[in-house]
Chain A
């Protein structure tokens, strides 16, 4: 006997202790790992996109275990959108700043005119700053896509 999705949703109990305990234990470690991947992105495998996906997946895991409204208390919708736009702004802002300071688009060595350190080490720091922006954008957009797809755009109650 198979039942419809709506019927299944009605039958699902609201809380599951095993799932909630495991998720509560794992989410901080997943987020720590995501931050590690973002921060080490410019000289080891990983980077803003991969770390952002890990961070976004931790929030999605939280939403799967505790329900979509609980995850919106954890990361509200307006915060989500603000962080996504700030991430995009950091990326394009730094890139445009390089162009305005006389370099090429995303040419980090031009940033040495603001803070006079070695242009070669500005390459490393500039990539790091851009990666932080990419990470913020990817995290929040991942969560936003999950919210929209899980609740068919109504953002009230997910899977």
Chain B
């Protein structure tokens, strides 16, 4: 089981790193939000799943219950994070934040 936990955790950290680079490097609000929303959702899902699996080292009732609660956290991150990104993006579009374009591109 330990190799699976390690794999999930390492891939979660990898996607967190990608998301951070995206937030720092991408040019405007929408593309930064795109990096934050997608990468953070996937990375948090993977990392918290790794925690839930790590907790299942013995199959007693208590540890299964704790893992079940942690999987609930995974589920709600998976629901809430994309919805929040959607709401922020829509609000920005309504308020009139202009998307970035390369200089010289025709509108």
Show the binding face of A for B, using Cβ within 8 Å: 1-3, 8, 11-12, 16, 18-19, 22, 25-26, 29
Contact = CB atoms under 8 A, between A and B. Distances in A.
Given A3-B96, A11-B94, 13 more contacts: A1-B96, A1-B98, A2-B96, A8-B95, A16-B87, A16-B90, A18-B83, A18-B86, A19-B86, A25-B79, A26-B79, A26-B80, A29-B76
A2 B91 CA distance: 12
Nearest to A5: B95
Contacts of A19: 83, 86-87
Interface of A is mostly: helix
Contacts of B80: 22, 26
A91 to B, nearest CB: 30
A1 B107 CA distance: 15
Contacts of A11: 94
Contacts of B87: 16, 19
